[in-house]
Amino acid sequence: MTSVGGFICCVGGGPTAWESKKQEDQALSSVESEYMALFRAIREVVWQRRLLAELGEEQQGPTPLYCDSQGAIALAKNPVLHGLTKHMKVKWHWVRSMVTAGEVELHYVKTTAQPDDMMTKRLVEQQHWKCCKLAGIALN
Protein backbone atom coordinates (compact mmCIF):
# COMPACT_ATOMS: atom_id res chain seq x y z
CA MET A 1 0.00 0.00 0.00
CA THR A 2 1.45 3.35 -1.02
CA SER A 3 -0.24 6.56 -0.07
CA VAL A 4 0.33 10.27 0.16
CA GLY A 5 1.27 11.43 3.63
CA GLY A 6 1.66 14.92 4.91
CA PHE A 7 2.17 17.14 7.91
CA ILE A 8 2.13 20.78 8.92
CA CYS A 9 4.34 22.11 11.73
CA CYS A 10 3.18 25.28 13.46
CA VAL A 11 5.01 27.61 15.82
CA GLY A 12 3.17 30.52 17.39
CA GLY A 13 -0.07 29.64 15.60
CA GLY A 14 1.33 29.74 12.08
CA PRO A 15 2.84 27.11 9.78
CA THR A 16 6.63 26.92 9.69
CA ALA A 17 7.08 23.70 7.72
CA TRP A 18 4.90 21.37 5.71
CA GLU A 19 5.26 18.32 3.52
CA SER A 20 3.05 16.31 1.21
CA LYS A 21 4.77 13.32 -0.29
CA LYS A 22 3.97 9.96 -1.81
CA GLN A 23 5.51 7.30 0.39
CA GLU A 24 8.64 5.73 -1.04
CA ASP A 25 8.36 2.46 0.86
CA GLN A 26 5.57 -0.06 0.56
CA ALA A 27 3.40 -0.37 3.68
CA LEU A 28 1.50 -3.57 4.43
CA SER A 29 -1.26 -1.81 6.37
CA SER A 30 -2.76 1.63 6.92
CA VAL A 31 -1.30 1.64 10.45
CA GLU A 32 2.18 1.06 9.06
CA SER A 33 1.62 3.78 6.46
CA GLU A 34 0.59 6.28 9.16
CA TYR A 35 3.58 5.21 11.30
CA MET A 36 5.89 6.00 8.39
CA ALA A 37 4.25 9.43 8.04
CA LEU A 38 4.76 10.01 11.78
CA PHE A 39 8.48 9.37 11.25
CA ARG A 40 8.72 12.21 8.73
CA ALA A 41 6.68 14.59 10.90
CA ILE A 42 8.68 13.83 14.04
CA ARG A 43 11.95 14.29 12.16
CA GLU A 44 10.84 17.85 11.30
CA VAL A 45 9.56 18.53 14.83
CA VAL A 46 12.85 17.43 16.41
CA TRP A 47 14.83 19.58 13.96
CA GLN A 48 12.69 22.64 14.78
CA ARG A 49 12.98 21.99 18.53
CA ARG A 50 16.77 21.89 18.25
CA LEU A 51 16.88 25.01 16.07
CA LEU A 52 14.72 26.94 18.54
CA ALA A 53 16.93 25.73 21.42
CA GLU A 54 20.01 27.05 19.60
CA LEU A 55 18.23 30.39 19.25
CA GLY A 56 17.59 30.47 23.00
CA GLU A 57 13.92 29.44 22.82
CA GLU A 58 14.14 25.94 24.23
CA GLN A 59 10.77 24.24 24.52
CA GLN A 60 9.83 22.85 27.90
CA GLY A 61 8.06 19.52 27.69
CA PRO A 62 7.15 17.45 24.67
CA THR A 63 5.81 18.88 21.43
CA PRO A 64 2.20 17.84 20.85
CA LEU A 65 1.75 15.97 17.58
CA TYR A 66 -1.71 15.14 16.27
CA CYS A 67 -2.44 11.99 14.30
CA ASP A 68 -5.68 10.52 12.99
CA SER A 69 -4.53 6.90 13.35
CA GLN A 70 -5.15 5.39 16.77
CA GLY A 71 -3.27 2.28 15.62
CA ALA A 72 -0.12 4.24 14.76
CA ILE A 73 -0.29 6.07 18.10
CA ALA A 74 -0.64 2.76 19.96
CA LEU A 75 2.29 1.32 18.01
CA ALA A 76 4.49 4.31 18.93
CA LYS A 77 3.59 4.08 22.62
CA ASN A 78 3.61 0.31 23.09
CA PRO A 79 6.74 -1.77 22.38
CA VAL A 80 4.76 -4.92 23.25
CA LEU A 81 3.42 -4.84 19.69
CA HIS A 82 6.91 -5.83 18.50
CA GLY A 83 5.69 -9.15 17.10
CA LEU A 84 3.47 -7.32 14.63
CA THR A 85 6.21 -4.96 13.48
CA LYS A 86 9.27 -7.18 12.99
CA HIS A 87 9.05 -6.71 9.23
CA MET A 88 9.27 -2.91 9.46
CA LYS A 89 12.51 -1.08 8.80
CA VAL A 90 14.41 -0.22 11.96
CA LYS A 91 14.42 3.49 11.12
CA TRP A 92 10.63 3.72 11.49
CA HIS A 93 10.96 2.73 15.16
CA TRP A 94 12.81 5.98 15.84
CA VAL A 95 9.25 7.29 16.30
CA ARG A 96 8.95 5.20 19.45
CA SER A 97 12.28 6.41 20.83
CA MET A 98 11.29 10.08 20.37
CA VAL A 99 7.97 9.47 22.16
CA THR A 100 9.78 7.64 24.99
CA ALA A 101 12.41 10.41 25.24
CA GLY A 102 9.69 13.03 25.68
CA GLU A 103 10.49 14.96 22.50
CA VAL A 104 6.93 14.52 21.21
CA GLU A 105 3.59 13.58 22.67
CA LEU A 106 1.09 11.93 20.33
CA HIS A 107 -2.57 12.88 20.45
CA TYR A 108 -5.50 11.49 18.49
CA VAL A 109 -7.44 13.88 16.29
CA LYS A 110 -10.43 13.03 14.12
CA THR A 111 -9.70 12.77 10.42
CA THR A 112 -12.10 15.65 9.77
CA ALA A 113 -9.93 17.93 11.95
CA GLN A 114 -6.63 17.25 10.15
CA PRO A 115 -5.35 20.42 8.44
CA ASP A 116 -2.92 18.48 6.23
CA ASP A 117 -5.83 16.96 4.30
CA MET A 118 -5.64 19.97 1.97
CA MET A 119 -2.27 18.64 0.78
CA THR A 120 -3.08 14.93 0.61
CA LYS A 121 -6.69 14.66 -0.57
CA ARG A 122 -9.09 16.16 -3.07
CA LEU A 123 -11.40 18.47 -1.17
CA VAL A 124 -14.37 20.61 -2.02
CA GLU A 125 -13.82 24.33 -1.52
CA GLN A 126 -15.50 24.50 1.90
CA GLN A 127 -13.33 21.67 3.28
CA HIS A 128 -10.20 23.24 1.80
CA TRP A 129 -10.82 26.56 3.58
CA LYS A 130 -11.58 24.70 6.82
CA CYS A 131 -8.17 23.00 6.57
CA CYS A 132 -6.51 26.37 5.88
CA LYS A 133 -8.09 27.81 9.00
CA LEU A 134 -6.99 24.79 11.09
CA ALA A 135 -3.43 25.27 9.82
CA GLY A 136 -3.40 28.95 10.73
CA ILE A 137 -3.29 30.21 7.14
CA ALA A 138 -6.87 31.39 6.63
CA LEU A 139 -7.09 34.73 4.87
CA ASN A 140 -9.99 36.01 6.97
pLDDT for the residue 137: 74
100 three-state secondary structure = helix
Give pLDDT tens digits for 29-69: 677 778 888 888 999 999 999 999 999 998 899 999 888 88
pLDDT for the residue 83: 59
pLDDT for the residue 76: 82
Q: Give the separation between CA 48 and CA 124, rounded to whole angstroms.
A: 32
User: What contacts 24+ positions apart, CB below 8 Å, involve 90-99?
Assistant: 91/39, 92/32, 92/35, 92/36, 92/39, 94/39, 94/42, 95/35, 95/38, 95/39, 95/42, 98/42, 98/46
pLDDT for the residue 115: 67
- DSSP H helices in the chain: 30-54, 70-77, 94-100, 117-120, 125-134
Burial class (CB in 10 A: 0-12, 13-18, 19+), 64: exposed
pLDDT for the residue 45: 93
Ordered by start, the domain boundaries in the chain are 4-111
CB within 8 A of 6, min separation 6: which ones? 18, 19, 20, 21, 37, 116, 119, 120
pTM of this structure: 0.74
Ranges of the chain with pLDDT below 70: 1-2, 25-29, 79-92, 113, 115-119, 121, 135, 138-140
CB within 8 A of 68, min separation 6: which ones? 34, 108, 109, 110, 111, 114
